[in-house]
């Protein structure tokens, strides 16, 4: 008789612990995906900025910006291409990197190319990314465990000095 009540107690304990265990596992997976997405966006920003370093800094600004935009977009597509959503594509910033933009209206990706007034021929490349979690993971189940995620902000910087490009 004692054995039958013990089996019933184990079933009750299992029924109480299973939902908590599943909640823990789902939370770990959800935050793991969010963390991995954030790391991938940071990596993409830095690598895309570094992809421009082989361009000749002596090129005129329009040609340099066009080639840099193409290279950065190629790198972003290759690094963020495994996400189910679309990888952001950059557009060269018209007003330079120093202009403060409202965080709500900022583009999901922008490329800034500034010249260094102190060193002729030196260019500073900045890639700013701010894709939303939903744009990279469309249809991701909104479980409610993660509060509304804003844009995932990442910045990659690279400096191209005269004489170092074009190799």
Scanning the structure block, which residue is given the tokens 């421009």?
52
Q: Is residue 165 part of a domain?
A: no
Domain that holds residue 109: 2-160
Scanning the structure block, which residue is given the tokens 């403060």?
100
Give me the pLDDT at residue 19, please: 94
Q: Is residue 83 part of a domain?
A: yes
Looking at the chain, the number of H-run helices and the number of E-run strands are 3, 4
Counting the structural domains of the chain, the total is 1
Task: Count how many Cα atoms sit within 13 Å of the Cα of residue 68 in the half-sphere of its side chain.
Answer: 31
Give me the pLDDT at residue 146, please: 60
Give me the pLDDT at residue 163, please: 57
Question: Which residues lie below 8 Å from residue 155, measured CB to CB, with a gap of 6+?
Answer: 45, 126, 127, 128, 129
Q: Give CA–CA dist 51/158, Å, rounded.
A: 9
Task: Count how many Cα atoms sit within 13 Å of the Cα of residue 119 in the half-sphere of its side chain.
Answer: 12
Which positions of the chain have pLDDT values less than 70? Answer: 1-5, 7, 94-106, 141-149, 162-167
pTM: 0.77
What residues are paired with 123 via a beta bridge? 115, 160
What stretch of H or E contains 42? helix 2-50
Give me the pLDDT at residue 130, please: 87
Q: Is residue 109 part of a domain?
A: yes
Give me the pLDDT at residue 97, please: 63
């Amino acid at each position: 008789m004692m054995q039958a009540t013990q089996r019933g107690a184990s079933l009750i304990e299992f029924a109480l612990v299973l939902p908590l265990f599943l909640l823990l596992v789902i939370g770990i997976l959800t935050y793991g995906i969010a963390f991995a997405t954030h790391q991938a966006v940071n990596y993409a920003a830095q690598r895309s900025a570094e992809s421009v370093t082989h361009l000749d800094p002596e090129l005129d600004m329009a040609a340099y910006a066009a080639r840099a935009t193409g290279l950065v977009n190629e790198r972003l597509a290759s690094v963020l291409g495994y996400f189910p959503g679309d990888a952001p594509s950059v557009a060269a910033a018209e007003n330079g990197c120093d202009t403060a933009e409202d965080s709500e209206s900022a583009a999901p990706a922008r490329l800034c190319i500034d010249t260094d007034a102190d060193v002729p021929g030196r260019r500073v490349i900045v890639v700013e990314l701010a894709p939303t979690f939903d744009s990279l993971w469309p249809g991701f189940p909104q479980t409610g465990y993660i509060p509304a995620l804003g844009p995932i902000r990442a910045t990659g910087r690279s400096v191209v000095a005269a004489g170092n490009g074009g190799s």
